Structure 1
Amino acid sequence: MTMVNRPFRPIRARGAAVATLTAAALLVSLTGCGGDPAGDAAAGGRAAPRPSPEPSPAWRTDPASVAALGDSITVGFDACSVLADCPAVSWATGTDPQVDSVARRLVKDPATHSWNFAKTGALIRDLPAQVDLAVRQRPELVTVLVGANDACRPDAGSMTTEAAFRADFEASLRKLRHALPKTQVYVAAIPDLMRLWSQGRQNPLGKEVWKLGICGSMLRDPDDLSKAADARRQSVRDRVVAYNKALETVCERDALCRFDRSVFDFRFTGAELSAWDWFHPGREGQRELARMAFQEITRKGA
């Protein structure tokens, strides 16, 4: 048998080659199929682009249409005559030049581009139904002023709970946002009902009207200054504060929602109250509400 001479290959060299290949495979498996992005970039390659976060939608200070939601305040109840609505003086969509409503200040043609879906006596639980009406018009701005009736019950014990109030407002805003993702929402705070009581009780005629059943939880026995009566009124005020906190907290989670606390802080006097019931805003009160709303709606910045 003939012997063939083959070149000598050390076993150590072959082992080193196998180890090198194994290490390279492990590196690829750890860095992914695309390799090291930093190394690729240094070698002249391009790293995979990272997605940029979507910018928050910007608040527009010149919406072209307005829909108003809420209760008796927004339909001008008792502002023109006793126990009657007067939408012409509404702070949100009224046509009265003395009030100079939000719609008059912002909208080119309020007659065709503003709508008032507020209802006297409405509670927060009625807001989702008003939202349904508003979305049909596709407004660029929705105003909300609701909640006074949830505190103004026949007695303090029947006020809407804070949890129920928050849930109904969340449902309303969620429904609106689902239908109109770009519509802006201005939410006015509920006025300080105790302030309205302290001013209105100075008028004998107003107190006679209160006996018809307006806001019994706050206005019943207006001249009773006993500890029990004071505690009852304070409980109503505390509930209004809680409602406003719920409105603010929910609104803060929506980039196109603005809550306006100035309505609660405003120190209404007899000059701004209805001459018919000394509790609801009269023309002057409606004008002040319009002024505060316009100021917040047109405020620039976050």
Structure 2
Amino acid sequence: MAVVMAVVMAVVMSVVEVAVVDVNKYTRQNENKYIRQDENKYTRQNEIKYTHCACTWPSAFANSVWEGTRGQLTFGSSTLGGLVIDVSSLDPSAGSLSTWECVNTDYFQAEGILLLKSTKKFNHINALFLAYFCFTMTRVTGVEAFYFYQSHAMEPSLNNERIKIHQAETFTTKAQICGATPPVQEFHYMVKQGQELVSKQFCPPSLLARMEYNVTSSNGAVSCTGPADSWDVCTDKTKMTFNYSTCATQMMYSSDGRVYCMFNLTTTHHYTMVYSNGTSGSKFICVVSNEAGTAASFVEGRCGQSNQSPTTFATSDGSDVGFTVTMSAAGNLDIY
């Protein structure tokens, strides 16, 4: 009996040992499947598949079109078109960058940060470079609109654009891509296409008035010097209306004399982004006004452009651009 038991135990141990050895005889197959070598005897084990975690835009942006100070921006699920950066000064053959891809949106919910990079390379100092953006975005309360900052130091080789250029192709974190914080008044703005007029806001308190005004262009021409020139921000506190029957100079680049306040920010001065749907140029204009409501300047594009103040022109490539305006109240200031 003892002999029989010994034989049985030996057989059992042999079977267990073989089972252990067989279990270890798995090979990694295509599509990350683990299959026993003897497929006639054993079934396929748990199937494990690895997928790349591709970056896709948050639902607020995916597959949508936005209008703003950076032009018309078209978001796909993971790409961005329409954001044009001229790199011809570095690489004439490259011309400009206009297509971008999502790099990381993990910071968006908590910090409003979107990270993206160019899909095209360009030559710089005898090497191939990519461009990266770190957009720090804040939603304008209650509407489909954002104001945002390009969180980088100025890049002298690209006309002081706030952008990061680098040879590395694998940057994915804000530590790698984001940089200096711009001045608070240096903001961009964008609004979802079709939502422009429902996204308007009250104009700044200093401009809630009926005003007479004189306007000076960056080339020195002075106009609208008559006593009846009218700038009305009382009838509709979200809209600036100009009477072109008394002075035909186009204000805020608007052909129909109407612009809408979209966003206000106050630091040393009032910075107001206005929208014009009656212009052939940029639809977004930055107005900088003083607290007293007696002086303002305006220029196409983002706010915080070089040297712009209520009494001085913005500058571009060393030249004055835009207009300055002096105002006097033609009616009671209506401040809330």
- Superposed pair shares fold, TM > 0.5: no
Q: More strand per residue: 1 or 2?
A: 2
With a CA cutoff of 8 Å and minimum separation of 6, indicate the structure with the bigger relative contact order: 1
Query: Highest Rg: 1 or 2?
Result: 1
Q: For the superposition of Structure 1 and Structure 2, which TM-score range results when normalised by the shorter chain?
A: under 0.3
Q: Tell me which protein shows more helix as a share of its residues.
A: 1
> TM-score of the superposition, structure 2-length normalised?
0.24
